Structure 1
Amino acid sequence: MENTKQKEQPAAEKQLAEAVRGLDQQHGSKEAKHEHNNHNNHNNHNNHNVKGSHHASSKISATLQKMFHTERGSDTESEKSENANVQPGQTSHPRFQKTENGKHIHRLSYSRRTHRMQNFFKELGIHGQPAINADKHAQSHSLSEKYGKPQEIIGKGAFGIVRIAHKIEPKVPGEKLFAVKEFKKRHNEPAKKYIKRLTSEFCISSSLHHINVINTLDLLQDTQGNYCEVMEYCSGGDLYSLIVSSGGGLELDEGNCFFGQLIYGVKYLHDNGVAHRDLKPENLILTSAGCLKITDFGNAECFRMAWETQPHLTRGVCGSEPYIAPEEFKDELFDSRPVDIWACGIIYMSMMTSSLLWRVAIEKEDPNYRAYLEANKNDSFTAPFQCLTESPRELILKIIEPNPKKRITIEQIIADSWFSSIHICHQQTTSASDSSISSTSCSINALNEQATSINKTSIANIV
C-alpha cells in the first residue's frame, strides 16, 4: 500500500522533498529532534498519510508535509486553529468595509494553499522552476520558461483545469503568478475541431482589454501536448465561492458593487460584438481588492462583425441551466445580448439571497419559475424579491423579463437612476474614442503582439 502511494506522489512534490532532504542535513540535531517530537505529538493521528521524506524533522519539512497534506483534501489541526475565526473568502480584517467618505473597501484573501506555496518557495530559497527535459518540444519549454511551471490546481471545468504558474524573476523580488487553463479534448473530438475550439476562445479573450474582463496573455502547449491559455491570476477566488461562504448572501453595497462591475464588463463585450453566453458566478473571478473580472469565453460568440450594424441571431441552448434565459429553450432564433442581461439578473439575486431563483426557466418543469411567471402577469413579485427595496427590485424585474423583446437593454440599465447611484470601486474610465476596439472581424482586434508572434505559425498550420 505504501509503495502504491509513493508512485502516486506528484513529481513536483518529490523534487521539493529532495530539496528538503538536503536542507535538513544542514540543521542541528537538537532542533531537528525538537521539531520531530512536536510534529509527532501534533499530527500523530495523520501518520498514515506521511510518506518517506515527509517524516520531517525540521520546520521546512513540517511545512512541506502540512502544505501537501492539505492539498489532498483535509486540514491539519494547526490550520484549523489558525483559521478558526476566519470565514472562507475572508482575511483577519472585515471582508467588506464602508469608509467615512461613503466609499468601501474589499479585502478578499489569497487561498491558503497558494499562500503556503509562495512562502515555501521563499523559505527554501528556490529562485527558479524545475527544468524541462531537453527532449520536450520547444513550446512546452517556452511555457515553463516564460510563465513558470504550472503547479497546484485552483479550478476545474468540464473540459479543462486551471493551475497556478509561479514565475521567479531573479532581478525582481518575489514572484509573478499566472493562471494557466489546460484545454482537454472532448471525448472523440477530432483534433481539428479541438484546435478550432480553443483558438476561437483565445482569439476572443486575448483581444478584450477592460478592467472587468480577464487579461489573457498567451496560448502555448505543455509537455503533454495540451494547449494552455495563460491569464492573469486573481487571488480573490471566484464569486460563487464568495457567495457560498457568505451564508445568507453578500452585504448590500458589496453585491451592488460587483453587479455594477459585471454590467460594465458586459457592456464592453456587447459594444465590441461579443456575447458571453455562459455568465454565472463561477465565471466571475475577483482580485484581492474586489475587482470583478469576466472569464471563460469557451461559449462566447460574435454576433456582429466590425463592418456590420445589425446583430446576427442565433439558436440553441448554451451555459448552465439556472442562468439560461427562457428564449434559449425554444426552437427559435434570438438575439444573444438579452441572454447575457438575463444572466446578470439571476447572478444579482444569487448574491443577495445566496440561493438560486429556480433550477431552470421552463414553465412546465420548474414550479418556482411558474410562480414567477404568474406573479409577473399580475405586476407582482415572488418571495425572493422581498429582500430588495423598491428601486433595485424594479430594475432587476426588468432584467429578468421573460419576454426578450421587452427585456431592458444594457444601456437602459446604466441609465437607471438606482444603478447610477451605486458606488463602483473598480470602473474603467475611457474616452468616447476608446469605447470600442478596432478590428477586421467580430469587432475584435488582432491578437496582441506577444501572442501573435508565438502562435500565428502553429495555429495557421493546424486550422
Structure 2
Amino acid sequence: MENTKQQKEQTVLPLLFVKAGKKLLLEVDHQQPGSKETKHEHDNHVKSSHHTSSKISATLQKMFHTDKGSDTESEKSENTNIQPGQTTSNTRFQKTEAGKHIHNLSYSKRTHRMQNFFKELGIHGQPAAVNDKHVHSQSLSEKYGKPQEVIGKGAFGIVRIAHKIEPRVPGEKLFAVKEFKRHHNEPSKKYIKRLTSEFCISSSLHHINVIDTLDLLQDTQGNYCEVMEYCSGGDLYSLIVTSGGGLEKDEGNCFFGQLINGVKYLHDNGVAHRDLKPENLILTFNGCLKITDFGNAECFRMAWETQPHLTRGICGSEPYIAPEEFKDELFDSRSVDIWACGIIYMSMMTSSLLWRVAIEKEDANFKAYLEAKKKNTFTAPFQCLTEGQRELISKIIEPDPKKRITIEQIITDSWFSSIYICHRQTTSTSDSSISSTSCSINAVNEQATAINKTSIANMV
C-alpha cells in the first residue's frame, strides 16, 4: 500500500528541453504536494506556459503516435527489412536468437521528426545548410572538406559536418567540426587556454567509447575548429526524445554498459568528464556510444600521482548534477560522473528526468526520493526496473558521495556483468594508458605563442 501511494504521488519531468535563445523551458507534469511554490508564482507559471504546453502536447502526440496505420511508406519498407530469426518492436533495435542484438540508427529520420517538432513550436535555427558567407580556411577545407550542415549547438561552439571528397575514392568521407566561439570581451589568453585544454584532453584519449579527436585548426575568421570523427547515429538525447516512452530494456542496457566502460577508461587515466548527459553521448549507425565534449573535463590525477585531487564548484546541466556540487565543499570529481550515469540510465528507461535539480529544498521530486531512501523503498520510476537493476542504480544515485558506488564496483556488479554489450574495446594496451598530454592542462602556458605540444602542432 505504501508503494502504491508513493507511485501515485511521485511525478517525473518530461525529458524535453526546448532551447530558444537564452531561455530553457522545462514543463513539469504536476507539482507535488508539499512544494513551497506560492500561489502567485504558480499562477504566473501557468499563464506563461499554458500556450507552449498545449503546443508541446499536440506535437508530441504526432511525434510519438504508435498507431501502425500511421507509418509512412519509408517506415513500412524498413519494417520489412528484418532477417530471419530476428524479432523486433521497431526497426532501430533488433534482437537475435542468440540473445544478442543489432542497432540500426537512422539519424536522418529522427532529425526530420525533430525539425517538424521545433517548427510547430515556432522555433527555428535547427540543423540547416551552412551560410555561404561563412568561409573557412583552405587548410581546413583541403584536409577535411568544407563544413556544412549544423548538427549541434552549444554555449561554447557549433558542430558542423565536413564533407571530404577524394577524387580516387567513390563517395565522400565525413568529419565533425566543432567551431569554438570566442565569448564577447573574452581575453585572447583565456580563449586559447580554454580550447587547448579541451583539445589536449580529448585528443589524447583513445577508446571505442570516446570520440576520436583528430585535429585543431584555425579558420579565416580567427576561430579555432576541432576536427573529430563523425557519428551518423546522432546523439542519445534525440534518440530518447523520439523513442516514445523510453528505449527498449536491452537497448538501454547496452548503451549504459558502453557508457560505464567509457567512463571507467577516463577515470583510469585521471580524467573526469564533469558534464555527462545524453546530449554529450553520440552514436554510430550501428549503436556504438561515444563520449564527447570535454569542455568541462578536468584532470584529478596526474600520471605520476597516486592520489586524486579533490575539487569544488558546479558545472554541467542541472538535472544531471550531483547534490554535493551544490555545496561549498570539496568532492571527488569521479563520483559526479557516476551520479550522472545513473540519471542518464533512468532517462533512457523512462524517457523522463527524475527531477529538475538535486536540491531537497528546491525540488519536490528529489525530496521524495530522499525520503524513500531513508525508508529503504523505491518510488514510481524505479518500480519499472528489475531487482538487480534497482539495487545497482540505487547505489549509483546515492545522495551521499562517500557511500556512492565506484566505477570498479559497477563493473563487477552481478547484474551489470550480465548485460550484453555489443561494442567493447578490443585492445588492452590503449585501455590502460594514454598520452601524458591529457593531464597536463595545468602546465599549458596562457601565451598562445608558447604552446608547442606535439599533439597540437597543427593548430595554427
Please tell me the TM-score bracket, short chain as reference: 0.7 to 0.9
Residue 149 (structure 1) aligns with:
146
Residue of structure 1 in register with 2:180 after alignment: 183
Q: 2:458 aligned to 454, 457, 460, which one?
A: 454
Structure 1: how far apart are the matches of 2:99 and 2:308? 40
2:395 to 395, 398, 401: 398
**Which residue number corresponds to residue 421 of structure 2?**
424
Question: What residue is the counterpart of 2:99 in the other structure?
Answer: 102
Residue type of the alignment partner of 2:75: V
Cα deviation, 1:170-199, whole Å, max 9, x if unaligned, reads 111111000000110123211110111001
Written as runs of structure 1 = structure 2, the 5 A alignment for 1:140-289 is 140-289=137-286
Does residue 368 (structure 1) correspond to residue 365 (structure 2)? The answer is: yes
User: Secondary structure, in 3 states, of the residue corresponding to 2:356?
Assistant: coil
Q: Is the 8 A contact 2:343 2:354 kept in 1?
A: yes
1:86 is the counterpart of 2:75: yes
* Correspondences of 1:299-448 after superposition (within 5 Å): 299-431=296-428, 434-439=431-436, 442=439
Q: Check conservation: 1:214, 1:295, Cα contact below 8 A.
A: yes
Q: Is the 8 A contact 2:201 2:438 kept in 1?
A: no
How many Å separate the matches in 2 of 1:114 and 1:377? 42
Q: Are 1:156 and 1:162, in contact at CA under 8 Å, matched by a contact in 2?
A: yes
Distance verdict in 2 for CA 1:330–1:287, change over 3 Å: same
Q: Measure, in 2, the Cα distance between the counterparts of 1:435 and 1:195.
A: 29
SS at structure 2 position matched to 1:170: coil
For residues 187 and 341 of structure 1, the distance between their equivalents in structure 2, rounded to whole angstroms, comes to 34
Alignment of structure 1 residues 108-119 onto 2, 5 Å: 108-111=105-108
SS at match of 1:246: coil
Question: Within 2, Cα distance between the matches of 1:450 and 1:149?
Answer: 25
CA distance in 1, matches of 2:452, 2:287: 26
User: Are 2:295 and 1:298 aligned?
Assistant: yes
Secondary structure of 1:219's aligned partner: strand
Tell me what 1:64 maps to: none
Bigger proportion of residues as helix: 1
415-424 vs 184-193, greater mean Cα deviation: 184-193
CA offset at residue 86 of structure 1? 3.5
Spell out, residue by residue over 1:65-97, the C-alpha distance to the aligned partner (whole angstroms, 9 max, x if none): xxxxxxxxxxxxxxxx9956639x999761101
Letter in 1 for 2:200: C
Distance 1:91 1:276 in 2: 41
Closer, same or farther in 2 for the Cα pair 1:313/1:268, shift >3 Å?
same
Structure 1: distance between partners of 2:251 and 2:275: 23
SS of the residue corresponding to residue 436 of structure 2 reads coil
Structure 1 residues 90 and 256, CA, compared in 2 at 3 Å: closer, same or farther? farther
Question: Computing the radius of gyration over CA atoms, which structure comes out larger, 1 or 2?
Answer: 1
> What RMSD, in angstroms, separates the aligned Cα atoms of the two structures?
2.9
Instruction: Structure 2: state its 5+ residue gaps.
Output: 1-69, 83-90, 113-131, 445-450
In structure 1, runs of 5+ residues without a counterpart are 1-80, 116-131, 459-463
Q: Structure 2 matches for 1:12-161, cutoff 5 A?
A: 83=72, 86=75, 94-111=91-108, 140-161=137-158
Letter in 1 for 2:171: G
**Deviation for aligned residue 1:242:** 0.3
Q: Is the Cα contact below 8 Å between 1:91 and 1:107 reproduced in 2?
A: no
Structure 1: distance between partners of 2:281 and 2:420: 19
Query: What do the CA deviations read for 1:288-329 (whole angstroms, capped 9, x no partner)?
Result: 000000000000000000000000110000100000000000
**Structure 1 residue matching 2:352: 3-state secondary structure:** coil
Task: Give the Cα–Cα distance (whole angstroms) in 2 for the partners of residues 338 and 203 of structure 1.
Answer: 23
Name the residue aligned to 2:16.
none
Letter in 2 for 1:238: D
> Is residue 110–residue 239 contact of structure 2 (8 Å, CA) maintained in 1?
no
Deviations 1:249-291 (A, max 9, x none): 0000000000000000000000010000000000000000000
- Residue of structure 1 equivalent to 2:38: none
Q: How far apart are 1:160 and its partner, in Å?
A: 1.0
> 3-state DSSP class of the match of 1:454?
coil
Task: Considering Cα pairs closer than 8 Å and 6+ residues apart, tell me whether 1 or 2 has the greater RCO.
Answer: 2
* CA distance in 2: counterparts of 1:325 and 1:105, whole angstroms: 33
1:174-228 CA distances to partner (integer Å, 9 max, x unpaired)?
Answer: 1100000011012321111011100100110010000000000000012222110
Match of 1:44 in 2: none
Match of 2:10 in 1: none
Separation in structure 1 between the aligned mates of residue 306 and residue 150 of structure 2, nearest angstrom? 42
Structure 1 vs Structure 2: percent identity of aligned residues? 84
Q: In structure 2, do the counterparts of structure 1 residues 113 and 239 end up closer, same or farther at CA, with 3 Å as the change threshold? A: closer
Judged with a 3 Å threshold, the aligned counterparts in structure 2 of structure 1 residues 215 and 433 are, in CA distance, closer, same or farther, namely: closer
Q: Please report the TM-score for the alignment, with normalisation by the length of structure 1.
A: 0.72
**Structure 1 position 158, deviation (Å):** 1.2
Q: Which residue of 2 aligns with 1:32?
A: none
Which shifted more, 353-362 or 139-148? 139-148
User: Matched residues in 1 for 2:394 and 2:264: separation?
Assistant: 19
